[in-house]
Structure formats: C-alpha cells, structure tokens
Amino acid sequence: MKAVLWFGPRDLRLVEVDKPTPRAHEALIRIESVGLCGSDLHYYEEGRIGNAIIRDPLILGHEYAGTVEAVGETADASLVGKRVAVEPGIPCGVCESCRTGHYNVCPDMVFPGGPPHQGALCEYMAVHSGYCFPVPEGMNPAAAALIEPVAVAVHTVELARLRPGETVAVLGLGPIGLLIAQVARFSGAGRIFGTDLLDYRIEAGRRCGIDVAVNARRVDTVAALLEATNGRGVDVAIDAARSSDTPALACRVVRPAGRCVLTGISGQECDPFPVNVARRKELQIQWCRRFRHDFPRAIDLVASGKVDLSLIITHSFGLEQTPEAFELVSRAQDNVLKVSIDL
C-alpha cells in the first residue's frame, strides 16, 4: 500500500509498504481522511516533542477515519462496511491508570504517528476494533477524521468545570482553540475572549463564537483582558497554543482562585511557568492529555451541528500531496486552519 514516511525534518516521501493484516481483535480500515494536527507539525519540523524523538522513518498521523473492510475472528463483525472514526490511542487496559478510568495517561499506550508507532498517513490501518466508532450516515470522511480533535475540545471544557455564564479566555486560535471556543459556547460560557498572532485566525475565532478577539502580537494580552473584565480576569483560561509563553499567560489573565487548563503543546521538555503568580492567586491548574470516553459525545456534537467543522476545515490534499500540505500549515499560508488528507 502507499504511505507517507517521515525521514527527517521537512522530509516526507511517498513510499510503498506492506498492507497490514488484522489480528483477531482488530479491524482493517481503508483510510479515507486524515487530519493534520499540531503535534504532527512538531514532528515534521523538529522530529520530536520533548523527549519523544523520531529515530527511524515513521508514518505520521493520528486523526483519521475510514471504512471497515474486514475484521479478525473475535472482533465485532457488524463493523464491516461502516465508516468509523477511530480513537487513536490504544491503552494496555491492565495498568493502574487504565483500571481507574484514566486510560489516556496509560504509560504503555500505543499511539499511532508518535515514535515508535506507525501512523495513519497511508491507505490501510489495522486497529483494535473496540476503538472504532461508527458515524452517522452522511457524515463525510473529513468530518469523521476530526472527531479526534473535537474530543480534545470536549475533554478540555470538561476539565475546566465550566459553569453557566462564566468568562473564558482561549489562548491560541488554531483548530483546537476554535473547537474549544465552540464547545465552551454551547456549554454555557458567558463572554469568550480569544488571542492569537494571526489576524485571519482572529476572524475565524469570531465566527466560532468568540466575543472579543485580540492580536497578541500588537496588543498587550494581559492588559486587554483585564480591561475587558474590569480588572478581575476571566474565570477560566485555556492554553491552546503551540507556544512556551501561553501557560504563563493563562495564569496572568485568570482571576484569583480561577482555573487554568493547559491543552497546547509547545514541543519543549520544559516551559517557563510563573509559580509565584499561580501561588498567590491560588489557581487551579489542570493539564489536558488528549481525552477519555469522549468520542461518542464528540460524534453527537458534530452530527447535531453544535460543533460546525465547516468553520475549521479550509484545505484538502491527496495523499501524494502530503508534503505540500505540511508546508502550507508550517508556514501558515493561504489562511489555513485545518488541512485534511483525503484518500
């Protein structure tokens, strides 16, 4: 089958690899769409995220959907012929984290597209059938592939423990930030503030339900948000950026005793953090690690129109155009938000 392999920073090549054969508990999926994620971009540009380092050629990609063509002998046979969104991380199921419901932090998780596990930028994947979620008829493959980042947004807002009418700041208006804004809006947020460095993303934020959006390259974000909240700060600050600066920024724009959720991935092993600010404010700081048990609700939110993915997906490429797609996203060209690779 065809696959796109990473051989080094900014070096992606279309190659031929063996088509997988499903094991007893697995489903064989003919991949129809793969979304390009910010974590894919870190690997593309730098070959690493912190201490997760690519050492051998690797297929990237973990946001994917497709049609089940076959299943192993112990897998659910009713999946055959159905389009499914695939929850990418497969936990061990037996460790303490898995047994206590926190399978998203399983230390032995197999996560496609992260070293050393091959990802989804290829024609077929064999995956544990229990993590294949059928989507409603009529949901197109690109939307089904983006159930994964929608689940990240759902988990983020869950962790924020958002109450009706509370104010929210979303720092970083890439695809994850825009999805978080949509989920926060229908979850009862009052005013939603957003920041980014690119004007076209700020405009996208307004379309996704953000009330006040500012360009952090031109405006002092802390001063602007404090002024907009009469000096109080927001109830919830969410970092959704690929920056080492935004965790600290979240602590500065949130009110005393407020809540910060850190979802963005800077790609660094260590980022600066204003411990004194967080301590003096007695902040509740929560990191977000992907999601857990959120795929069914994410599917329902997209199917019902509460999350509008047409506001997010801006570009589509074929598998052979994957290098071009990564360069587009890496350079933030052509007002790109979300790219799908469609097979």
- Quickly list DSSP for 147-175: HHHHHHHHHHHHHHT--TT--EEEE--SH
C-beta of residue 209 within 8 angstroms of C-beta of residue 188: no
Identify the CA nearest to 91 among candidates 128, 145, 116: 128
Gap between the terminal Cα atoms of the chain: 12
DSSP track, 1-60: -EEEEEEETTEEEEEE-PPP---TTEEEEEEEEEE--HHHHHHHHHSEETTEE--S-EE-
What span, in angstroms and rounded, lies between the C-alpha atoms of 126 and 233? 47
pLDDT value at residue 59:
98
- Tell me the sheet residues that pair with 83: 67
Q: What is the pTM of this model?
A: 0.96
Judge whether residue 160 has pLDDT over 90. Answer: yes
Please tell me the CATH code under which domain 2-146+312-342 is placed.
3.90.180.10
| Domain ranges for the chain | 2-146+312-342, 150-287
State pLDDT tens for residues 3-57: 999 999 999 999 999 999 999 999 999 999 999 999 999 999 999 999 999 999 9
Query: 150-287: what CATH class?
Result: alpha beta
State pLDDT tens for residues 237-293: 999 999 999 999 999 999 999 999 999 998 888 899 999 999 999 999 999 999 999
* Average pLDDT score over residue span 121-135: 98
Judge whether residue 209 has pLDDT over 90. Answer: yes
pLDDT band at 337 (very low <50, low <70, confident <90, very high): very high
What 3-state DSSP class applies to 124?
strand
